[in-house]
Amino acid sequence: MTEFDDRVGRIQAAWRRERPDLDVSPQGVIGRLHRLAAHLTAELEVVYARHGLSEGEFDVLATLRRAGDPFELAPSELADQTMVTTGGMTKRLDRLGARGLLSRRAAGGDGRRRVVALTPEGVEVIDAAFADHMENGRRLLDQLGASDARDLEELLARWLAHHEGD
């Protein structure tokens, strides 16, 4: 068993001492992933904030942008693709709409069906924010090196498939 001299490794060592009857090796992976996720989220949020966006608002704008021209989706499609509750989605849409980054309107003559669409200003904001987001992601992954990053992506994709069924 490999022991690492980092915060998680010290926690594991303490648990091994206190509970030698338990295998605490899962904590090595899960604990580090949990801590790393918090660090990465903080690094990503700095970029979003530079564009006046929260993480959730970035997600909404990015989802509309990658839908392709005319950059619109039904609110239910948007909620499904961002895995946000309809209540949470409404708040995000209200904030982004108030800033002029998206609009809501009836879909193609059907007054009952609505769509959410990026405005030209919304396209401009998300294009700039996404470019900065990708540059930031590259900076973060360069800490690993190309080969390790590819290996990690493959491992994470396989593991995530177990949970998401993809």
* pLDDT tens-digit series, residues 43-56: 999 999 999 999 99
The pair of structure tokens assigned to 14 is 């303490």
* pLDDT tens-digit series, residues 72-85: 999 889 988 987 77
Question: pTM for the complete prediction?
Answer: 0.86
132 touches 51 (CB < 8 A): yes
Q: What's the pLDDT band for 138 if we cut at 50, 70, 90?
A: very high
